[in-house]
A and B are shown apart, each in its own frame.
Chain A
Amino acid sequence: MAKRVVIVGGGPAGMQTALELKARGIEPIIVERDVELGGKVRDWHKLFPSFTPASDVLDPIIRGVKSAKIRCFLGQEVRAIAPDGVTLRSEERIHADAVVVATGFTLFDAHRKQEYGYGLYSNVITSVDLERMMNNGRVTLADGSEPRRIAILHCVGSRDEKVCQRHCSKVCCITGVKQAIELKQMFPTADVFNFYMDIRMFGAGYEELYREAQQRYNVHFVRGRISEAAQTINDRIQIKAEDTLTGRPLRMTVDMLVLLVGMNGNRDNESLAASASLNIAPNGFFEPKDSFRGAVCSQREGIFFAGAATAPKSLADTLAEASMTASTVAEYLNHKYNTR
């Protein structure tokens, strides 16, 4: 009989792991909290660094899951995990020979940085709001007009003790560069300013895109973190920063402020981890067995990880890791059942 693996989370990591397990003759079952498969990427418009439409990557994976007839429990949340299965919020138990945790991340709630006025000022939006606007085909200010001057702020809800998120979210710098270019493509006469503390371009083609933003699109990069934003009487936003490279305080008024929100660990990571004696790293994500050969293994035999559940990751890294997870799980099952 085919060995069965329960995969917690039906985002890109969970689906890709499922597809590759299925191809190896193993029976995967996906449990997804949402009523749809796809995870966060469903909301993204075009992907860095190539501007590939997100649906071009996501849709074939979802179709693959459907055509492979992989069983999916949608709208079901996993409450506890163990090497021999999972328990749903409904108290139903699904038995398995191994479990993969592919629960991804949670977006930082920008309301928590009150000094930037998200939710208070109508033209302060997040990078996620901007992706959704682009998916809806129209980016405008709250009154329907076009922005002429836009500021993009890096590290919102990352690298910040004040919100207990010390880690770097890794993908927001390149997202900020990508969105700056997209804004310049939409509004060629607008001025776009990225406010950063450090620019982290870790992936292939990222540094080149940064340079393209500077040279070809004339995006301005200011090294300084915005300390606060305030709405002016005509719904514009006044921001304050230090231009650290000239050593002087800087003030400017913009039409739109885009906050690059970070990736946080899920709130229920603690309780899921406790249910199976797994470790949570200080950054709030699941801690893998080690960072090298055990990057998809947990501290417990029979429980594995895939994707952004263990750290902020790009989609490319997530999919590559899912392949590694599938082969590691297959090897584990082989070893377990052939040596008995």
Chain B
Amino acid sequence: MRNINFGYGISRPRAIDIDNNDLRKSNAIIAEMPELQACIGCGSCTASCTAGNLTEFNFRRLHTAVRRGEYKGAYEDINKCMLCGKCRLVCPRGINTRALIMLIKRKLGDF
């Protein structure tokens, strides 16, 4: 049968595919900083973030994505962080967010 072009391309599925995502890095990050598991997604870190005010950088979204094994663009994105530490002052779960940034950088850097 002839291939008919309906004008649709195959785009990458938008769903977060936990079955196929490689969770090894994510697990390694959590193993080194188990406190990240306590995040309740309140967004205080993003709200207080200096970098997030000026750029698309969203720290809560980033570390949530990394936990789900969605690493694409994360390393480049995290370089927007200025390591000012404001996020750490507001986290209600007492997560050392600044240390987390360094950890994510280190783990994703050796891709």
A contact set with B: CB distance below 8 Å: 115, 155, 159-162, 197-198, 223-228, 240-244, 247-250
Contacts and interface: CB of A to CB of B under 8 A. Distances in A.
Contact of B90 (A228, A244, A249): A228
Interface residues of B, number: 20
Contacts of A198: 40
Given A227-B47, A227-B48, A242 B90 contact: no
Given A242-B60, A248-B58, A227 B44 contact: yes
B92 A159 contact: yes
Given A160-B92, A162-B94, A242-B42, 12 more contacts: A155-B92, A159-B40, A197-B41, A224-B42, A227-B90, A228-B90, A240-B47, A241-B43, A241-B44, A243-B43, A244-B46, A247-B61
Interface of B: 40-49, 52-53, 58, 60-61, 90-94
A197 B49 contact: no
Contacts of B92: 155, 159-162, 197, 225
A63 B41 CA distance: 48
24 contacts: A155-B92, A161-B93, A162-B90, A162-B94, A197-B40, A197-B41, A197-B92, A198-B40, A224-B42, A225-B44, A225-B47, A226-B47, A227-B44, A227-B47, A227-B48, A241-B43, A241-B47, A242-B45, A244-B42, A244-B43, A247-B58, A249-B47, A249-B58, A250-B47
B53 A249 contact: yes
